[in-house]
Structure 1
């Protein structure tokens, strides 16, 4: 068995060894919580892990930078990777923890390619428009990881709200026996949504990046008093005044379908979504519930 003991953890690099290890938990009817990550772990990831440990007997954390969800090769190459640092971060937690840190060939076996999915149109909105093939890659890797780990519950952050809905849709389509749990966004002191990409920001721009969340709070505050067109114009003007940030998109959508809307209807929920380039090439996303 190729496993490495590290503090309170066992680290596996091969799915067959992981599956063998988890058999004893299943035979004892112990629950398995799962947090899939791409590493570069931060407090946002830890909040998901803590919730999983509270609700399950054992936590499995995957650390895998998935190549099929990157439509930009440079973005894939620049994505931070430091397994030792990630293991140290996880070691701060209390509980039974297993880490799965595979190579691409262990996950994908024959070919590192994506399946093609239909998510009832969810994949065509926002991120789907700007990152072709991204959600096919997300659906593929999450499906594979859920099949490998076979958890009772899997935990995803609401920062990637579109991804959360797509994962729920994929689980329903594939009829996978797992509960998908959405968890609130964790933020830095200035409001910037925690993300592994934040580490690539200069100190000056990272400090200023709270501007993104402040703008979303402004949108939330005027949601019932301004037209959606007025709100969008306001957001665009705010970003035109910021030399360190370039607005890629801003959208107000139905919270369930993610379709962009121009006005609100009673008894429907809405969210605002934003994607921004900071420091030139660091892409940041965020969102907020509006009602």
Structure 2
């Protein structure tokens, strides 16, 4: 059997796997899978002959109910594609009731500064919802390895903090962002874009590359001003934030700073669809 929907079934299967001393690798997803997700799965298959993929659109991490309702879903297609990759992939696709019971509410967490800026600022309670489901999944699976993509870089720092505090036996594996031929980061939300908006979204990557090329040439405030202007002049596009921050602390640079480990972060609203991305600068 490759598909599990109940915690009871999952627990029994995990016990069998642990008896065989086969490392438990988990790739958490919200479904509507794409090549970015598949790259995580392939990476996980390098570490274990059996890989678990969770597919669960987590209601508690959406601060906008319309965003939750409109989030693309196609479980049957996701399952079919995963099993095309390997018959050794096992899928956990529970209902919200199975995960939360009757109380579909996020727990409250304090991640300090890394949870307050950027996505923490623009999406109230988002990281509480993320941390709630990640904690539940890590507690259920107790994986040796868990795989996340760097497109959601701030989320990776949140997950690492959860692991450091409560799941010492789990290793977080960071995987590079997968992009289309024009540089746009792959995202399930890309499927919600109209064709014209999708084609215009390449400007997001172009602006990240611009920041990398000009970090040592142009003052930081002028880089921000240029990117704001270029994004906002595109029809239906509105920049929410562009910031250059230390990738470990998420402290924003005050002026041009040439230390290693700087990363540019960007969020753009295209009509009602939010697109986020980031880029290592040095």
Query: Normalised by the shorter chain, which TM-score bucket?
Result: over 0.9
Looking at structure 2, the residues matched to 90 and 175 of structure 1 have their Cα atoms a distance apart, in angstroms, of 27
Query: Paired residue for 2:51, among 38, 52, 59?
Result: 59
On the 8 A contact 1:61/1:100 being kept in 2, the answer is: yes
Looking at structure 2, the residues matched to 56 and 147 of structure 1 have their Cα atoms a distance apart, in angstroms, of 19
Question: Offset of 1:82 from its aligned partner?
Answer: 1.2
Q: Which runs of 5 or more residues in structure 1 are unaligned?
A: none
Query: Paired residue for 1:209, among 187, 201, 206?
Result: 201
Q: Quote the residue 1:35 is aligned against.
A: 27
Looking at structure 2, the residues matched to 169 and 120 of structure 1 have their Cα atoms a distance apart, in angstroms, of 10
Alignment of 1:288 onto 2:279: yes
TM-score normalised by structure 2 residue count = 0.97
Question: Offset of 1:268 from its aligned partner?
Answer: 4.1
Q: Quote the residue 1:259 is aligned against.
A: 251
Looking at structure 1, the residues matched to 232 and 17 of structure 2 have their Cα atoms a distance apart, in angstroms, of 54
On the 8 A contact 2:219/2:256 being kept in 1, the answer is: no
Looking at structure 2, the residues matched to 176 and 98 of structure 1 have their Cα atoms a distance apart, in angstroms, of 24
Q: Quote the residue 2:129 is aligned against.
A: 137
Alignment of 1:44 onto 2:36: yes
Looking at structure 2, the residues matched to 211 and 94 of structure 1 have their Cα atoms a distance apart, in angstroms, of 35
On the 8 A contact 1:33/1:154 being kept in 2, the answer is: yes
Alignment of 1:272 onto 2:264: yes
Looking at structure 2, the residues matched to 70 and 13 of structure 1 have their Cα atoms a distance apart, in angstroms, of 22
Alignment of 1:242 onto 2:238: no
3-state SS of paired residue (2:46): helix
For each residue in 1:226-275, what CA deviation from the matched residue of structure 2 results, as whole angstroms up to 9, or x when unmatched? Answer: 11111101111112321131111111111111122222445442111000
CA RMSD in angstroms comes to 1.3
Question: Offset of 1:92 from its aligned partner?
Answer: 2.1
Question: Offset of 1:191 from its aligned partner?
Answer: 1.0
Alignment of 1:19 onto 2:11: yes
Looking at structure 1, the residues matched to 40 and 217 of structure 2 have their Cα atoms a distance apart, in angstroms, of 35
Q: Quote the residue 2:174 is aligned against.
A: 182
Question: Offset of 1:88 from its aligned partner?
Answer: 1.5
Looking at structure 1, the residues matched to 64 and 49 of structure 2 have their Cα atoms a distance apart, in angstroms, of 38
Query: Paired residue for 2:186, among 190, 194, 204?
Result: 194
For each residue in 1:61-120, what CA deviation from the matched residue of structure 2 results, as whole angstroms up to 9, or x when unmatched? Answer: 000000100000100000111111111221221251110000011112341111111123
